Amino acid sequence: MREGNDIFSVILLAGDRISDDLAKASPCNRKALLDLNGQPMLLYVLNTLMASAKVGSVFVVGNRVREISSYPSINTWLSSKNRQDRVRFIEGENSPATSVVAALKALCLQSPVLVTTADNPLLTIETLNQFCDMALNLDGADVAVGLAVEEDIRVAFPEARRTFVRLGGSGYSGCNLFTLMSNDASRAAEIWCDVEKRRKRPWQLISYFGVGTLFKALIGRLDLDGAFRAVSHFMHLNVKEIILRDPTAAMDVDRLEHVSIARDVLSERRSAPVLTRS
How far is Cα of residue 245 from the mean position of the Cα atoms in its chain? 16
Q: What is the pLDDT of residue 120?
A: 96
Q: What is the pLDDT of residue 46?
A: 98
Q: What is the pLDDT of residue 272?
A: 60
Domains located in the chain, CATH noted: 8-269 (3.90.550.10)
pLDDT for 7-17, tens place per residue? 999 999 999 98
Q: What is the pLDDT of residue 4?
A: 54
Rounded Cα gap, residues 263 and 256, in angstroms: 12
Name residues of the chain where pLDDT drops below 50. 1-2, 200, 202-206, 211, 215, 218-219, 276-278
pLDDT for 206-236, tens place per residue? 455 554 555 455 445 678 888 888 888 888 8
Q: What is the pLDDT of residue 242?
A: 96
Q: What is the pLDDT of residue 1?
A: 46
Q: What is the pLDDT of residue 278?
A: 43
Q: What is the pLDDT of residue 196?
A: 61
